[in-house]
Amino acid sequence: MFEINEVQIFLSIISGILVGFSLGLIGGGGSILAIPLLIYFVGFDHPHIVIGTTALAVGVNAYLNLIPHTLKKHVDYKIGLEFTIPGIAGVLIGSELGLLTPGNDLLFFFSFLMIGIAVYMLKRKCIDLSEMQRKVSNSSRSLAILILAGLIVGFASGYFGIGGGFLIVPGLLFGGGLNILQAVGTSLMAVGTFGVITAARYAISGDLDITISALFIVGGIFGGWFGARLAGKVPKRRLTQIFAVIVIIVAFYIMYQNYSVILHI
């Protein structure tokens, strides 16, 4: 486990609040900042432990958010299982490769993923629910799309410790024929399962800190509540663009830091 001091405990909670706040405010992508926050803000220079730790926090938060979506009947558990079960294979493969990849190399590759997610967020337009529902209402279910998307997202989740909701929702929309609300709710099944399994595999190798995960989860709950309260009062599209630019800046910083280390090896 980490040797943590009072300052790092405080910064871990603040990091969780920031991630939860961004998730509550813009509805996705916030967990991509969990790893750089713990490494560069809190000061834990252990990439594999940070990945295992954030994976657990992301997984638990997803399961907690699954409860209200289930009560609102926004979760299709049958389609969720069809997506999640194949994805578990991807998680196991990804986590094994992640543990074999040197920490600085892993962070360097992670910076490219961050840029890809940020570009996706910049290009994505705000979705009108009724329009999206019309687009997918005539879509037939495709088990092949569900399996393929599950494997891809599961691999990314296992390798980098991310939630992957930005990839899961489209897969459920067009592979499961769900509407946007059902896809968002059902995606939490996969995010939670992938996160917990990734964390379990990293824990077996000793690359997990329960205390930091708990602090991150507590901060995320409060941050998510505040973000959700503000979500309807500010232009979501503008906020998403600002957030994406921040992610790109952080990604280039991570790229620079770890590329420099790799060159000196």
Domain segments of the chain as ranges: 6-263
Residue 252, pLDDT > 70, answer yes
pTM above 0.75, yes or no: yes
User: How confident is the model at residue 87, as a pLDDT?
Assistant: 93
Per-residue H/E/C for 111-130: HHHHHHHHHHHHHCCCCCHH
Per-residue pLDDT, averaged over 161-170, amounts to 78
Q: Which two tokens stand for residue 164?
A: 């992957």
In the structure, what pLDDT confidence band is assigned to residue 130 with cuts at 50, 70 and 90? very low
DSSP reduced 3-state for 86? helix
* Distance (Å, whole) CA 48 – CA 79: 32
Location of structure tokens 């989740």: 157
Question: Span 68-97, mean pLDDT?
Answer: 91
**Closest C-alpha among 263, 50, 249, 83 to residue 182:** 83
pLDDT at 263: 62
Pull the structure tokens for residue 84: 């999640």
Contact 238, 125 (CB under 8 A): no
The pLDDT assigned to 121 comes to 78
Residue 105: how many CA atoms within 13 Å on its side-chain side?
8
CA distance 70 to 189: 10
Instruction: Work out the average pLDDT over 43-70.
Output: 87
Convert 94-124 to b/e letters by CB count within 10 Å (16 or more is b). Answer: bbeebbebebbebbbbbbeebbebbeebeee
pLDDT digits 0-9 by tens, 196-236: 999 999 999 999 989 889 998 898 888 877 877 776 676 76
